[in-house]
Amino acid sequence: MLHSQTSETSPPSDRRAAMALLAQAPRTLMAAGLEGIEEADGASDVRAPEIGLVMVRGRMGGGGRPFNLGEATVTRCTVRLPDGTIGVAHLLGRDRARARLAAICDALWQRVETREAIEARVLAPVREARAAEDATVRAETAATRVDFFTMVRGED
């Protein structure tokens, strides 16, 4: 499998983080973000988007031995850019177009020339949207926190 130079120099943890964000990225955002990036148009399918299942596991008691909880739908896709960079995506759900866009974004992210564009146009907005959503959920949930107080009764 061909790798662009940058994929070997970039630590996988960064790419992991980028892929985790891409997994949450809306299709329209990625499509808009890829506009005008020439390499994106030249991407070809190594493995066309494919829908399947993953078995989601839990742990007994939350932290113990694993068990099978149930399945979830997943779409996976692998693309190759004209320069040989391989992009991969695995996302929950059954949106083939979204999986292909995420794979293209992953490939572009690995190249020094296009990483900045992907960061700015796709990853940053997703990161912000996610942080905002989480903050709202946290604030809504925190508003339902019980603030206990003790009533002193009787004479003693």
Partner 1 sequence: MYVAVKGGERAIENAHRLLADERRGDRTLPSITLEQIAGQLSLAVDRVMAEGSLFDRDLAALAVKQARGDLIEAIFLIRAYRTTLPRFGATHPIETAAMRVRRRISATFKDLPGGQLLGPTFDYTHRLLDPDLAGDPDLPAPALRPELPTAMPRVTDLLGNEGLIEADPAETGEPVGDLTREPLSFPADRDLRLQGLARGDEGYLLALAYSTQRGYGRTHPFVGEIRMGEVEVEIDVPELGFSVVIGRITVTECQMVNQFKGSAKAPPAFTRGYGLAFGHQERKAMSMALVDRSLRAGELGEDRTAPAQDEEFVLSHCDNVQSTGFVEHLKLPHYVDFQAELDLVRRMRTEVAEKREAAE
132 touching partner 1, by CB under 8 A: no
Among 38, 142, 149, 153, binds partner 1 (CB under 8 A): 142
Candidate residues 32, 48, 92, 120; the one interacting with partner 1 per rule CB under 8 A: 92
Q: How far is the CB of 119 from partner 1 (least distance, A)?
A: 18
Amino acid at 5: Q
Q: Is 46 helix (H, G, I), strand (E, B) or coil?
A: strand
Q: Does 138 bind partner 1 (CB under 8 A)?
A: yes
Whose CA is closest to 107, among 17, 1, 3? Answer: 3
Q: Which amino acid is it at 18?
A: A
Among positions 8, 9, 44, 141, the unique one binding partner 1 when judged by CB under 8 A? 141
Residue labelled with tokens 């992991």 = 16
Which CA distances in Å does 54 have to 17, 73, 131? 20, 7, 27
**Smallest distance from partner 1 to CB 126, Å:** 12
59 is written with which tokens? Answer: 């742990």
Instruction: Give the x/- contact pattern for partner 1 in 31-60, rule: CB under 8 A.
Output: -------------------xxxxxxxxxxx
Say whether residue 20 binds partner 1 (CB under 8 A): yes
